[in-house]
Amino acid sequence: MRARKFKKLLIANRGEIALRIIRTARMTGLKTVAIYSEADARSTHVAAADDARLVGPAEASKSYLNIAAIIAAAKDSGADAIHPGYGFLSERAEFVRAVDAAGLIFVGPRAEVMAQLGDKISARKIATQASVPVVPGIETADLRAAREFGASAGYPILVKAAAGGGGRGMRVVESAANLGDALETAAHEAESAFGDGRLFIEKYLARPRHVEIQVLGDEHGTVAALGERDCSIQRRHQKLVEESPAPNFTQTTRDAMIDAATRMAQAAGYTNAGTVEFLLDGSAFYFLEVNARLQVEHPITEIRFGCDLVAEQLKIAMGERLGAISDPRGCALECRINAEDPGRGFSPATGAVIQLRTPGGPGVRFDTHLAQGVEVGAYYDGLLGKLICSGATREEVRRRMISALDELAIVGVTNTAGFLREVIASDAFARAELSTRFLEEHFPTGPHHDSERDTAALIAAALVAKDRLGSRDPQESDGARDSIEHSPWTEMPKFELWRTR
């Protein structure tokens, strides 16, 4: 058994997830070490940690992806364990090997397991051996073999990178005429993103749902499954909305999928937290991939099962056995708020947070690293925060999410909150008409209102309000009462002006 007790944890990540891990580590009595690039020197996660180390310039390749610098930071700070968060190095087997070689503990699966599951071809072999259904497919970058498969399976087919994920190196091919260009482009993108240009081709399911199972495995051979999450609402293979339990999902299918995910994890010898992902086509489901890390959408599982998945990760890494898993309760829904401009084809957005208004009330949680003055640059992933709502029924949660999105405002950085409000409020979402083509079918041109105009109006109003407050006579102030009655929000002409009504 490789696990042992540790006292100081380095978080090899940034932003929202780094802050999330620091908070749990603090609650479990661990000291924490943050790492940061030159661009993140004033980031919230840096201030929250007990210690912090600079690991390089702004470029991720020279900082958050710099294995040598991160290992050096851990050794220099006296950390004896590393949590990778998600993204960056979280699914790189070479990083796990470097952590092991340095005599440190990696909070996650073993390097050899991560390598096997991170490769789509070897992962499919494990699934097949465990009697987990897979979509028909072949490994090839050869045009002739690809055409033969396309003719046999029928178009459309899906070309994707054998290594990695997140939609990179992935192309949907509608006919044999487009296959050559798709293979060339996908191979180039896969090589650039993962250093591995191998391709896998499989039958493309036209309107599947994307459903995943959260698993936990300890060092003693126990594997537990914590229900399912529906992640069907995506844009360019990136998840935007997740919910649990999956709606319109029979208990028979749920039980079969959970059993398949458990078998898959056991067959791979999986330890720590991971997610087994499936495509659901009617009542049939097929193995997609394993994400050998904590998922962005893990909070909705935590809420339903009354647990802290980061705390469970830490316990498993220390060699402890899995405890009893509570029965799930109610429903939970998450919206990812990204720094993107929906009115301009979801182009990346940057800027400084001028004002931040977060929602509250029963069943509302907002996980974010944002604060007034925080700079959102172009170097990293654009996730600004995760808005999570919970309640007794899906409809209650849906309405709560609409209200929470109405309350949320991130002034200074164009974001997707208004667009997501439209999605959640739509009749199609209310009826749970879910598939991975949901946005193509119901929002083919993006938002139905002018989010750019509304966001600009909101920013302008906030700036005017700040100027008004700045010009007040200090003698007119009445302490806390004045700060509430004369905040920028109360000075604005109509906060809801940017929302869809």
Which residue numbers are catalytic?
Answer: 293
Q: Which residue has the tokens 């708020």?
A: 337
Backbone angles phi, psi at 331, to 5 degrees: -130, 155
Cis omega (within 30 of 0) on the bond before 156? yes
191: Cβ contacts below 8 Å, ≥ 6 apart: 197
Task: Specify the 3-state DSSP secondary structure of 491.
Answer: helix
Integer Cα distance of 454 and 500 in angstroms:
10
Secondary structure (DSSP) of 353-381: -SEEE---STTEEEEE---TT-EE-SSS-
The structure tokens listed for 66 are 């710099």
Query: What is the β-pairing status of strands 51-56 and 31-37?
Result: parallel
Helix axes of 179-194 and 143-153: crossing angle, nearest 10 degrees: 110
Integer Cα distance of 307 and 302 in angstroms:
5
Element (H, E) at 182: helix 179-194
The structure tokens listed for 486 are 């004369």
- By the 8 A CB rule, do 391 and 400 touch? yes
For 76-133, where are the E strands, in sequence order? 81-83, 105-106
116 vs 141, 239, 501, CA distance in Å? Answer: 20, 24, 49
For residue 179, the Cα-to-chain-centroid distance in whole angstroms is 31
Integer Cα distance of 69 and 35 in angstroms:
10
The residue among 168, 136, 163 whose CA lies nearest residue 152 is 136
The residue among 67, 117, 73, 62 whose CA lies nearest residue 96 is 67
Q: Is the dihedral of CA 351, 354, 357, 358 positive or negative?
A: positive
